């Protein structure tokens, strides 16, 4: 595994992680793409040294076909994931005019409930009454 590839994997992971932490879904899609390629590169780098095509009956040093097969599958899956996220972003944009990942509504309700209870002292709760 050459050092330059390892460094490249690290850089791709860093960029991908940064992008995934954004609120905008399109950036997250980009992040998933970059991070996914970082992982793919990692798997390729994890294979043995490069060599001849691994075809049965051919002599000499061949390369390990397993990581190639794995990465091929992973690339297809990654492509599907990014497309789905983009579709989500588009749908979100047609509904709300932006593609931000929002806080959860119920969580906000509960946070507000506990806030108001803290302000008004120990007010009886609705469920306790029934």
Partner 1 sequence: MTNALLAAPILVPLAAGALSIVVRRLVVQRIVSFVALGIALAAAVTTLVRAVAPGDIQVTRLGGWPAPIAITLVADRLAAILVVVALVVVTIVLVFAIGQRASDEHSWFYHPTYMVIAAAISQAFLAGDLFNLFVAFEIMLMASYVLLTLEGRDEQIKAGTTYVVLNVLESLVLLTAIGLIFAATGTVSMAELPERLAALPPPVATGLQLLLLVAFGMKAAVFPLFFWLPDAYPAAPSSVTAVFAGLLTKVGVYCIMRTQTLLFPDALGDLVLWIGAATMLVGVIGAISHHDMKRVLSFHIVSQIGYMVFGIGVGGAAALAATALYLVHHIPVKTSLFLVEGIMERDSGSSSFDNVGGLSRRSPMFAVLFMLPALSLAGIPPLSGFVAKFLVVRAGIDGGHFVVAGIAIFVSALTLTSMVKIWVNAFWGEVEPASRTAVRGVLRHHPTMAAATVALVAVTLVIAVFSGPLYDFALDAAREMTNPATYVSAVRGTP
Judged by the rule CB under 8 A, the positions of this chain that interact with partner 1 are: 1, 20, 25, 28, 32, 35-36, 39, 42-43, 45-47, 66-67, 70, 73-74, 77, 80-81, 84-85, 88, 91-92, 95-96, 101-102, 104-107, 110, 126-127, 130
Nearer to partner 1, 15 or 74 (CB): 74
Residue 122 C-beta: closest distance to partner 1, Å: 16
SS3 string, the chain, reads CCHHHHHHHHHHHHHHHHHHCCCEHHHHHHHHHHHHHHHHHHHHHHCCCCCECCCCCCCCCECCHHHHHHHHHHHHHHHHHHHHHHHHHHHHHHHHCCCECCCCHHHHHHHHHHHHHHHCCCCCCHHHHC
Q: If you search the block for the tokens 């709300």, which residue do you land on?
A: 96
Residue 59 C-beta: closest distance to partner 1, Å: 19
Nearer to partner 1, 15 or 45 (CB): 45
Residue 60 C-beta: closest distance to partner 1, Å: 20
Task: Report how far residue 39's alpha carbon sits from residue 36's, in angstroms, rounded to the nearest whole number.
Answer: 5
Instruction: Report which of 46, 50, 47 is spatially closest to residue 61, judged by C-alpha positions.
Output: 50
Nearer to partner 1, 96 or 116 (CB): 96
Residue 79 C-beta: closest distance to partner 1, Å: 11
Nearer to partner 1, 8 or 74 (CB): 74
């Amino acid at each position: 595994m050459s050092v330059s590839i390892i460094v490249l994997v690290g850089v791709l992971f860093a960029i991908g992680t940064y992008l995934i932490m954004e609120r905008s879904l399109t950036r997250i899609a980009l992040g998933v793409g970059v991070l996914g390629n970082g992982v793919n590169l990692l798997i390729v780098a994890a294979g043995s040294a490069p060599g001849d095509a691994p075809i049965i009956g051919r002599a000499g040093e061949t390369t390990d076909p397993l990581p190639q097969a794995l990465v091929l599958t992973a690339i297809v899956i990654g492509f599907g994931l990014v497309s789905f996220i983009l579709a989500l972003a588009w749908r979100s944009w047609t509904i709300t005019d932006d593609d931000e990942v929002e806080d959860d509504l119920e969580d906000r309700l509960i946070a507000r409930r506990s806030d108001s209870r803290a302000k008004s002292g120990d007010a009886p709760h609705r469920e306790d009454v029934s």
